[in-house]
Structure 1
């Protein structure tokens, strides 16, 4: 059966083969490349003269599909000469480049290039028209093949069940789920039963007037206290209060930086929605486990990695990323979850994609087993391209099914006493949907609740060969420091005694760290604390850029800081691949180029990210057009980090500024982050807010080496530590 969304294979007549790319047989009609080039020019013209229409999107998608197919055909044409193929590919590249530049100027076109994008009937029809204009008769599209009854079913991707999950199930054989409590009753008669309602519901949001509320009424919180002595911000506490009062579905669309993760975890606590399933992008999986430890410490969290060999089947919070959901959808649906959170919920906007289908399948199975589960969709960007993006999120939340509103929303619509034929239906319908649980707050709306400037750490796991190599290098460095320490102990003058309770000569540890620091500064090659930090930055580059791209889509402009050129290069490649427009601000640019790139970021609404050198762009720039900053690499000083943040946090900034610091978990990166924070606190205490730095970058480098050596000695066998008392 032909794959949905792909143009069908066409029968080619020999006389037509060259006509496709302008060969000698191109007579009696235009060649395909000429038609494609003219179509691209028409798209460019439409973009220059106004808003993109559905016809423009259709033309863009059809051209993209034909370009892909034509490139594959040219490369596989063994009858053509190498020179001919090179010439044709060069022409195709020119058309493709022009098409790509159009897409970068208009972000709504980018989604049409996604691998899971649905090809519309109009786009398929246009591809056939283009071929006919080129003198090529497309083959008729085949009817879908129906497998015979005796044919085996198509192979299904293998699904796994972690052993610890089996252990949990065996430990609780008497906890059979009560399906009757969650079984929905039959359809109830309603005056709206004969109406098509999903279209009018979507139009009710398109027709919303300025000032129409986008947030349900939230109760005043009884308390803002959270576990561990933490205190919620007022806007966070109000959502938690709604969950405590019995509300069970939320589309939480707060802007980034307003603490959606904490709100979701504490709403689960208030609703007693454990065990809780959390589906997230890979880049924030580690952060969810960390945040769960902070906000809900009584409920252990576990992350599903790969096949789930390390998952804790007895945890109350299970965090899984979209990329491995297909392997685990089976046991996740049977686990007995009482709540489900989908982070960056716009990832499921395309209901025909596999990840969307898995999320919707698991959500339905949770609803079938649990009466009134807590269902939360978190996204700063509920709409990406079209109003239809709402549908998958509403279906996940249980507000609608494939064709109509479900019972609670239908009851609310019926209670309005209106039908889509009545003018008053649309504002009333929108209000009914919002009251199901849409919560939307902007930074500027709750500016009084949050600090004017704050740093939010986002820990990430370094997987794969790069992560293993970095951890091995850190172990080698620790072993080298220990060996150096032990050699120094062995050559000490007679009579020296270690009086420290832990048996470690901390004065000698400091001296060994200084020796290593000096050697590292003079070294031309080999692993040391400087090369390790650079390798960590390289390994984090793509993850940090992915997160910056998510921020740009949901919150507007973002400033991306990195220390090394190769990290900036890797980030820019990621942005280009995702169709995110950026400006590059580096130290090797001429003043005119630098200013031109700054102006592009500040003045052009389409330029979403400024990729900045931490050293070259950390001072003297005014980038207050952005209120979100991504620090892909750590500075060696608190002052340098503060200077970077102050490019956006300055006079004229109307929104609170959040700096998202990407930290490589379980590496020296995390230790250095703590040291930088300690130095920042010392500076604030000693200088009462002065920007003058206390200490230097050398202090942090030395402290990092001291911490690494001390930790290695503390975990070493006791007989090695006792060597400090030998003469």
Structure 2
């Protein structure tokens, strides 16, 4: 550690751009000379810093700044141990004591790395520290009173690495879907025009580690005010939405910003304000196709549906498994996080011009494979997109989960930071402030500078006049596990059984007559009625519509709970409705594992126990979710302290569904209410939802004077069976 000494005048001459407070190293050394009785003054500094990192790790969060601290501590422990061992002026006893103290620091490092194994790579002596780590090391050495040569005070620029190659560990897992090969043959890709990287700026902030001040500017609020960039005024005519659909004013504002050239957004609107639609239309406005959307599995199908609704002229493809069924000639590619690793190779060279990361808080852990894949793809798109200015959007109603440093991965995805320092575009904005973190006025201005890069956050309460007072939003989910496949197979078998009964009844009624091309509705209803009676009496055996719907509810339970947890962290209290006890049990268990406090409202409760749960949900800010029985809690209670409802299982009647939602949407409710209906795609679940909606038309026509078409007056169960039978007969 101790380098050849130089005179204090030389040190002072070289320290002007290094010491952030502007004082000369000579004065620092004069003050610290009095502490020269310690043979290793750096060790107390390392001991204090390592305990700070350990405390952070104990709370489950080691963010970018503390990772840098961890690396610098490990680096200085190695340097100091080598110096102590080679110092001939030290007595044996003194050397032993110093090495013992260094071993104590090293032990805490090892204990911390055991909590977060991603830190182990930072212990590798071959790991090259970046500029932020070099600056931190230099500051600590100066603080210990070390005398450094001009060469040692130089911060070495890092070599730029481009993550264009799939990691060797994933090479064997890569797949190239057949349609991608066909597109490659049809339209061979041109070599990408790689943009030359911008040189780091030099100025008054070039010697500062700016990430901590930027985090602090958000943590402290920096004078208040919404974290939303200045958006342009609404255009005179709204020309972004397709025919037959209409955007809300807050959505138009963002699209107008895209039209004027803004290309990176952290869109943090509350759930229910149309983030998906905004991002899809943003790609259209920017002419940024093909678009890659990386999304959670639970919203993958919903994404495809939104693309079809908002950009009907664009083709969307959803990537499942190895991508055998995808269409590589599409404009929008939707892939879920879980399968991203096996598609990296072709995604990196496909030539995307835009990328959207939905539920972007999923990438907050920089050491996770999920985050590394997303960030590598984003970097590749930045390098190969024409003009080096692709459309990049991070969508999340919960950008911060545990710590303000959760911002870091999202900022990195958007290209706002590089190597734990602001990227050139953000650095120019910070330099324009004319202040440093030593100036009090720096923090609100720095926060505003980051926000101007593209942070947009709107609340329901702010745009309530643009929303319906109550709405139901369907969220289709893919049941792609063994249980989901068995459910679809059971549906096909039930449909085939009903079709056989239909054929037998037709033969009985019509003798040898040929069956018409269109099945006879009366016969289908007779068969369905008999099946329902058999199912209710539990004498039919095998799969029936009731057991099937129950299995679908069980299969959806975890996905519905995951979405509930996301809502609770984003918008506050949520009411979760289910029909069956086992689904409620699953929800409570998973929510507890996610660290969310719940209350339960069930049929077997006493009146006092139920009221206690209702009061806790209303008055205890720690209670995040009320897990409710659709039948037991659907009437007679008030849960209007929440404005979001999750319907994990469907009711058989529109009235029962409406009553459940009305536990929240009632007098005293001050927020627009959204009911999120979780539907199992490609199953009878979606048909049941459609039938429930059709039944609502009867009440609308009879009671409200509405002209909604009445599709059927029979039961949902009977119509669902008729649907399965028709599919089997026309297959």
TM-score relative to the length of structure 2: 0.76
SS at match of 2:674: strand
Within a 5 Å distance, the mapping from 1:272-421 to structure 2 comes to 272-370=287-385, 371-421=388-438
Deviation at residue 655 of structure 1 after TM alignment: 0.8
Within a 5 Å distance, the mapping from 1:18-417 to structure 2 comes to 109=59, 111=60, 144=124, 155-156=169-170, 158-173=173-188, 175-179=190-194, 182-209=195-222, 211-219=224-232, 220-221=234-235, 222-223=237-238, 226-370=241-385, 371-417=388-434
Aligned match of 1:575: 591
SS at match of 2:190: coil
Distance 1:127 1:579 in 2: 32
Distance 1:119 1:301 in 2: 41
Deviation at residue 230 of structure 1 after TM alignment: 0.8
- Confirm or deny: 8 A CA contact 1:583 1:611 kept in the other structure: yes
Aligned match of 1:510: 525
SS at match of 2:599: strand
Aligned match of 2:609: 593
- Confirm or deny: 8 A CA contact 1:218 1:242 kept in the other structure: yes
Distance 1:709 1:258 in 2: 39
Aligned match of 2:153: none
Q: 1:198 to 1:113 in 2, by over 3 A?
A: closer
Distance 1:238 1:161 in 2: 39
Distance 2:192 2:650 in 1: 49
- Confirm or deny: 8 A CA contact 1:381 1:554 kept in the other structure: yes
Within a 5 Å distance, the mapping from 1:435-454 to structure 2 comes to 435-454=452-471
Q: Per-residue displacement from partner, 1:326-367 (whole Å, max 9, x unpaired)?
A: 222222111101001111111111212221111111111100
Equivalent position to 1:668, from 684, 687, 708: 684
SS at match of 1:229: coil
Distance 2:547 2:421 in 1: 58
Q: 1:130 to 1:482 in 2, by over 3 A?
A: same
Q: Which runs of 5+ in 1 are unaligned?
A: 1-53, 63-108, 133-140, 148-152, 716-727
Equivalent position to 1:467, from 484, 487, 491: 484
Deviation at residue 120 of structure 1 after TM alignment: 9.0
Deviation at residue 435 of structure 1 after TM alignment: 1.0
Q: Per-residue displacement from partner, 1:393-444 (whole Å, max 9, x unpaired)?
A: 1111111112321222122222222232332222121111111111000111
Q: 1:366 to 1:216 in 2, by over 3 A?
A: same
Q: 1:464 to 1:274 in 2, by over 3 A?
A: same
Q: 1:527 to 1:514 in 2, by over 3 A?
A: same
Higher mean alpha-carbon deviation, 564-573 vs 375-384, is at 564-573
Distance 1:183 1:450 in 2: 45
Within a 5 Å distance, the mapping from 1:625-644 to structure 2 comes to 625-644=641-660
- Confirm or deny: 8 A CA contact 1:278 1:341 kept in the other structure: yes
Q: Per-residue displacement from partner, 1:466-503 (whole Å, max 9, x unpaired)?
A: 111111111011111111111011111569897x7x43
Which runs of 4 or more aligned residues in structure 1 lie more than 6 Å from their structure 2 counterparts after TM superposition? 54-57, 117-120, 122-127, 129-132, 495-498, 694-698
Q: 1:587 to 1:253 in 2, by over 3 A?
A: same
Q: 1:601 to 1:696 in 2, by over 3 A?
A: farther
- Confirm or deny: 8 A CA contact 2:277 2:310 kept in the other structure: yes
- Report how many aligned residue pairs link the two structures: 593
- Confirm or deny: 8 A CA contact 2:579 2:649 kept in the other structure: yes
The alignment's C-alpha RMSD in Å is 3.1
Deviation at residue 669 of structure 1 after TM alignment: 0.5
Equivalent position to 2:447, from 430, 449, 452: 430
- Confirm or deny: 8 A CA contact 1:545 1:574 kept in the other structure: yes
Q: 1:154 to 1:305 in 2, by over 3 A?
A: closer
Q: Which has the larger radius of gyration?
A: 2
Q: 1:604 to 1:235 in 2, by over 3 A?
A: same
Distance 2:67 2:423 in 1: 26
Does residue 1:479 correspond to 2:496, yes or no? yes
Q: Per-residue displacement from partner, 1:685-721 (whole Å, max 9, x unpaired)?
A: 211189xxx9999611111112222232223xxxxxx
Distance 1:633 1:280 in 2: 23
- Confirm or deny: 8 A CA contact 2:201 2:427 kept in the other structure: no
